[in-house]
Structure 1
Amino acid sequence: MTFPDPSISRNAYELLIQEVADYAIYMLSPDGRVISWNPGAERIKGYTADEIIGEHFSRFYTEEDRAAGVPGNVLVTAATAGRFRAEAWRVRRDGSRFWAHVVVNPIRRDGELIGFAKITRDMTEQRQAQQAALESERRFRLLVQGVTDYAIFMLDLGGHVTNWNAGAERIKGYAASDIIGCHFSRFYTPEDLAAGVPVVALEKARREGRFEAEGWRLRKNGERFWASVVIDAVYDDGQLVGFAKITRDLTERRQAQLQLEQSREQLFQAQKMEAVGQLTGGLAHDFNNLLAGISGSLELLSARIAQGRYKDLERFVAVAQGAATRAAALTHRLLAFSRRQALDPCLTDVNHLIAGMEELVRRTVGPAVELRMDTADGLWSTWIDGNQLENALLNLCINARDAMPDGGRLTVTTANCQLDRQAAQVPDLPAGRYVVLSVSDTGTGMTPDVMARAFEPFYTTKPEGQGTGLGLSMVYGFVRQSGGQVRISSRPGQGTSICLYLPFHPGQADASETPTDHGKPPPSGAGRTVLVVDDETTVRLLVTEVLHDLGYTILEAGDSEGGLRLLQSDVSIDLLVTDVGLPGGMNGRQMADAARSVRPGLRVLFITGYAPNDDISRIQMEPGMHVLSKPFALEALTTQIASILSEERRP
């Protein structure tokens, strides 16, 4: 055996290392190879001297440490700093790990590094005791009985309660003797249990170390409360032993939040209905004109037929159909505008939206205001709620009309806008592409003070009773929520221009209506049976008449009770055509669901006008269900029915 330092007595050195069994004491060459080995090293690491001398000391390190280059860093640190000291996991000969306290000192002769002295002590038992003490202390801190605002308790690996603090008893209503040993899922609502929420929570805590959420939980008396929940995984010496769960009762905060959201919705709806109120006078006049055109055309048709004068009858039919189409368009726009609904962004063609709003805007602003639509060719698409954008546009046009009491010019403009970093600073937006919708008027304009407050809720310059001051604030909030910005440009006596910067979205919005193929013969319904359920006799008559002419076998009912009676009979039915709002104890959707329990896969076509309690947009459609809004062209009805019946029958 070679000793690097001859000044050390050979006998003294060997006596030292042979007597020390609690420490692994050995020498390393400058490149890290073992050159001596004591009994303590053999006892702690499991290698005999013959097995290890000449081998590199990195074999005592874990795979993770070797991959991270830790052994090399140890020698570099010892050589440069004069000592390396650390605690970490090391590996015995049999592959087991132990927690080691390590000291490495460089050995030099005449200033030249000739090796390293390495001392290792097995600290596994001490570390386990320390970890146990820390865990005991942590549990004590978590479960301190003085905490009453938080429910703090522990779960075993299966999710069963193992201890319980005073806060848990106060919040959840269970005494410790009632709940320890029970599964924590009893605190969850039936809906969450059905959805497997407790299982998901525990698995996420197991996988990621923590689960956090808010939701409804149950007290012992069945009462619900809104809870903030944190579940932490608890480890002992690297092994998962259970979970710590902290629950806080946030019911009061949740109720305040819901009340605020409800108040905001009520304010928004009030502002929307204010705008609807301003439409009603003009719309009543317009609808009377449209109805006059329809009724007059029908009277002339009846008179000409009675007189045997059949020439040019199609002209009166065209007049009546045109007036009916215009009335339907106005109805759909008004209902879509006034209906309560959540923000629902989608790929939107703003030019197409404006074109659909033009007649409504024109009738709203009145004949004294000249309306101009200046839309850009090749306008980009935007990702936004179209219904809310219609609301914003109509409100801006109403404000512009009110700013021009003696008449003037209102211009609606669209444009594509590319903002670089510097240009984007003015509208306070990120650089990028935007669709700009502008509404400009030649009215009274605004002073700088008025412009500064224009977006404030309830701020208005209109006389009392003529405005709530919600219009511009709602427009601003909606556009900002959608990722855009609103800018006002105005001078007293020179009019106002309000620009909406809407975020660009790649893709092409579908702005076209599906054209009607007038050259295609109507599909035959021979061999098919259709049940028509509608409480409106006129609608039922028209639908059954046109389907009968195409060869369909027709069954009909005027309410859900009669319809369900037929659906639960043995008669063959290929398609159910039903209104959504029906008398007879259930609506059309409920009747369809009841029918599908005995006729799985029954195909259904809902035909519906606006029904306040049965809005079809709020009903999740299932496979085989379709919808057609009233009023509809009879040709559109027959085409859709043929399309539905051509689908493969679902199992």
Structure 2
Amino acid sequence: MGDIDTADLWDLSPVPTLVLSPACRIERVSNGFLDLWKRQREEFVGKDVFNALYAGSLFERFDRIPLTRSIEVAIDTRKVQLCYSACSVDGTSWSARVIPIFKNDKLLALVLGWELVENSLGDAAVDLAHNMLSADETFRLLIQAVKDYAIFLLDTRGYVATWNAGAELLKGYERTDIIGKHFSTFYGEEDLRAGKPERELEICLRDGRAQDEGWRYRKDGSRFWANVVITTVYRNGVHVGFGKVTRDLTERRNAELQLVQAYEESAKLKNDFLANMSHEIRTPLHGMLSACTLLLDTALTPNQRDMADLIAESGQVLLQVINSILDYSKIVSGSVSMSSVPVDIAGIMSSVIRNVQVRLRPEVHLQLDLSPELPKAIKGDPLRFRQIVQNIVDNAVKFTEEGWVSVQTSVVAEDETTCTIQTNVTDTGIGVQVTDATVQNLYKPFIQLEQSINKRFQGTGLGLSIAKSLVELMDGQLGYRPNPTRHGSVFWFTAKFTKIPEKNVEHETSLQLRLKASDEDASSILQRLREIAPRKRILAAEDNLINQKVLVRMLHSFRFSQIDIVGNGAEAVSMLNDSSGMYDLILMDISMPVMDGFEATAKLRASGVKLPIIAMTAYALAGDMEKVLRNGMDDYIVKPMDRNVLLQKLLKWLDTTG
């Protein structure tokens, strides 16, 4: 080569050429390239090729996409790649041939040789469309005639190359307006800032296809909800552009939004109905059950006591039905939250057994088997665990007319932080005829397996459905199998609990002992309350006259003699503003005329009244109890009021001896 350095050959070449390092920095620039770009060599050498070529261009983010992809493919395949319409100089479109140079599996350099494509961007787009579609004139005419879809081609950098009748109708641009314009014209400012258009092209180059739904804009500025599909277009193995199909889905989206709105309104109406149903049914039921409780405390003949017991039992069944429906509603709406407090498994199991013992038939024996390995210091949701056990044991007792019901609880798995407890409830009842259909129906709401059974065993069919949902919330499973020894069923469930760290065991254990101590039997609580009741004065706000009478008589049975009753929150506020120091506790109904319990409590707290306020509420949906505490009340009792619960609440807030 004489005195000429081989490397100088690149610089002297009249062919527009760039030599890049493996890191895509420009190392050599040919004279032909400088003539093309009308710039100095120093402006290119050492610069990143993408910044050098595209910085400052109108669509810089899109212009660099085709070349970036071609370089990646050339390196991966070690083959020459043609990047069609890689860049434009003074309106002239140029393609780049990317040549990877390897030696012993090591990339030494990349050579970019530039080739002229067309004289102008618009002409290039027209030619792209012509070359791609002229092979099948019928197909071209078909695409042009489609009016329900916008179908058009983009070049490698996203410039519009074709435009059919559907695109003109949908977007409002005539063919002469849009050919040669960039497709990002159709996107809103938010999408442009987020880089959505270029991201779609990058995904399309990588995966061969990109799909999206979102707002797109017409020429007049109006918008429509579009479904967009972009695909890569190749000719003879060379990427030459993108195909784009757009559908107007505005009507479908509006219909979906209307459905969502209708669903939300329906859900609100359902929740409002359940809340009102709960209140309207619980309020008279409270009066009936409370009056029945007081009646049973009086001297009755055996026949009268039997009738009163029947009334009380029927009322409790009705209350259980209401509670089941409300529990199911909470679960379906996803509004059940799980607590994490100390759990006494043995105590809960024993309590459930005592509770169902009174409903047991004389011919049925009930036994409880607790593993000595049951942990003493764990956390979970004791109320939900009890509800699961209660539902399953209630079912076993209800469907067993003779024989036995056995309840077994033990630890089946544990690690350093958790333990899983399994409970098996085995009975000799009517059993389940095992088929795929019956096993699936076991846990469906409002379903009992046979109509003939329904006539003998009444119920909502919600017990197992609620239990299964709660078990799953406790990271457990609920299952069924036939009794292996004789006719009957075995229902089992697992629940996961969190272990209390050893350093906290002593504290938590003492807490459990205090909780057990406070859970005394009703007679002991009644005795303690009767000792302090004569010295205490209570203000009760209750608008229902029947409930007023029942409440006063119940309080009298506890030996309270100083009781003032008002019919709404405004009267309660007035009474307390005049003589708040005279009272020791307030029982506040929530739903009252003139002024409800929430507003009355807010006014009392604002005026400095610090007396304990216990809400009496017939609302029992998710969030109602939290709302009571959030609005300044100290505690709550759900109507119908359980006498023992009222005893405990009154003693809790009135017994200052600790």
SS in 2 for 1:589: helix
Q: Are 2:456 and 1:466 aligned?
A: yes
Change (3 A) 1:548 1:141: farther
Change (3 A) 1:359 1:261: farther
Aligned to 1:85: 82
Q: Are 2:516 and 1:489 aligned?
A: no
2:83 maps to a residue whose letter is A
Aligned to 1:374: 369
SS in 2 for 1:340: helix
Give 1:362 shift. Answer: 0.9
Give 1:582 shift. Answer: 6.4
CA contact (8 A) 1:604 1:625 kept: no
Match of 2:421 among 435, 460, 464: 435
Q: Distance in 1 between matches of 2:636 and 2:170?
A: 60
Q: Which is worse superposed, 70-79 or 554-563?
A: 70-79
Give 1:442 shift. Answer: 3.3
Aligned to 1:47: 40
Give 1:361 shift. Answer: 0.9
SS in 1 for 2:40: coil
Aligned to 2:214: 232
Give 1:560 shift. Answer: 2.4
Match of 2:494 among 473, 488, 502: 502
Aligned to 1:160: none
SS in 2 for 1:131: coil
Q: 1:114-125 residue pairs with structure 2 within 5 A?
A: 118-120=112-114
Q: Which is worse superposed, 371-380 or 115-124?
A: 115-124
Q: Distance in 1 between matches of 2:610 and 2:585?
A: 6
Q: Distance in 2 between matches of 1:375 and 1:231?
A: 58
Change (3 A) 1:466 1:242: same
Change (3 A) 1:585 1:351: farther
CA contact (8 A) 1:440 1:495 kept: no
Change (3 A) 1:375 1:3: same
Q: Distance in 2 between matches of 1:78 and 1:583?
A: 78
Q: Distance in 2 between matches of 1:506 and 1:142?
A: 63
CA contact (8 A) 1:444 1:495 kept: yes
Q: Distance in 2 between matches of 1:333 and 1:378?
A: 36
1:436 maps to a residue whose letter is Q
Give 1:41 shift. Answer: 2.6
Q: Are 2:165 and 1:133 aligned?
A: no
Offset from partner CA, 1:247-276 (integer Å, 9 cap, x none)? 3314786699789989999xx99xx9xxx9
Aligned to 1:632: 647
SS in 2 for 1:494: coil
Change (3 A) 1:439 1:404: same
Q: Distance in 1 between matches of 2:22 and 2:337?
A: 68
Aligned to 1:2: 4
CA contact (8 A) 1:434 1:503 kept: yes
Change (3 A) 1:496 1:46: farther
1:248 maps to a residue whose letter is N
Q: 1:506-545 residue pairs with structure 2 within 5 A?
A: 506-507=498-499, 513=515, 515=517, 533=541, 536=548
CA contact (8 A) 2:429 2:489 kept: no
2:618 maps to a residue whose letter is A
Q: 1:121-200 residue pairs with structure 2 within 5 A?
A: 131=158, 133=160, 140=167, 143=170, 157=189
Q: Distance in 1 between matches of 2:405 and 2:101?
A: 91
Match of 2:97 among 96, 99, 103: 103
Which TM-score applies when normalising by structure 1? 0.51
Q: Distance in 2 between matches of 1:368 and 1:602?
A: 57
Give 1:559 shift. Answer: 3.5
CA contact (8 A) 2:483 2:490 kept: no
Aligned to 1:397: 393
2:353 maps to a residue whose letter is E
CA contact (8 A) 2:479 2:491 kept: yes
Aligned to 2:504: none
Q: Are 2:437 and 1:478 aligned?
A: no
Q: 1:282-301 residue pairs with structure 2 within 5 A?
A: none
Q: Distance in 2 between matches of 1:105 and 1:261?
A: 63
Same amino acid, percent of matched pairs: 13
Change (3 A) 1:26 1:514: same
Aligned to 1:606: 613
Q: Distance in 2 between matches of 1:71 and 1:208?
A: 17
CA contact (8 A) 1:434 1:504 kept: yes
1:417 maps to a residue whose letter is V
Q: Distance in 1 between matches of 2:94 and 2:34?
A: 12
SS in 2 for 1:346: coil
SS in 1 for 2:629: coil
Q: Distance in 1 between matches of 2:193 and 2:410?
A: 53
2:214 maps to a residue whose letter is D
Aligned to 2:589: 580
Higher helix share: 2
Q: Are 2:600 and 1:591 aligned?
A: yes
Aligned to 1:161: none
Change (3 A) 1:334 1:379: farther
SS in 1 for 2:479: strand
Aligned to 1:363: 358
CA contact (8 A) 1:447 1:492 kept: no
Offset from partner CA, 1:632-651 (integer Å, 9 cap, x none)? 354422358x99xxxxxxxx
Change (3 A) 1:473 1:118: same
Offset from partner CA, 1:22-44 (integer Å, 9 cap, x none)? xx435579998734531533663
Alignment: residue pair count: 469
Which TM-score applies when normalising by structure 2? 0.50
Q: Distance in 2 between matches of 1:135 and 1:639?
A: 86
Q: Which gives a bigger RCO, structure 1 or 2 (Cα 8 Å, sep 6+)?
A: 2
Aligned to 2:630: 622
Alignment RMSD (CA, Å): 6.7
Give 1:581 shift. Answer: 4.6
CA contact (8 A) 1:352 1:511 kept: no
SS in 2 for 1:249: helix
2:652 maps to a residue whose letter is A
Unaligned segments of structure 2, at least 5 residues = 56-60, 126-153, 173-185, 198-211, 227-249, 300-312, 501-507, 638-644
Q: Distance in 2 between matches of 1:454 and 1:30?
A: 66
Offset from partner CA, 1:556-614 (integer Å, 9 cap, x none)? 74542312334678989999834225655343223224556xx3776574324552589
Aligned to 1:196: none
CA contact (8 A) 1:106 1:116 kept: yes
1:587 maps to a residue whose letter is D
Aligned to 1:306: none
SS in 2 for 1:118: strand
CA contact (8 A) 1:602 1:624 kept: no
Q: Distance in 1 between matches of 2:268 and 2:101?
A: 77
Give 1:441 shift. Answer: 1.8
Aligned to 2:302: none
Give 1:364 shift. Answer: 1.9
1:44 maps to a residue whose letter is W
SS in 2 for 1:619: helix
Aligned to 1:25: 17
Q: Distance in 2 between matches of 1:601 and 1:207?
A: 53
Q: Are 2:51 and 1:34 aligned?
A: no
Q: Distance in 1 between matches of 2:582 and 2:196?
A: 56
1:631 maps to a residue whose letter is L
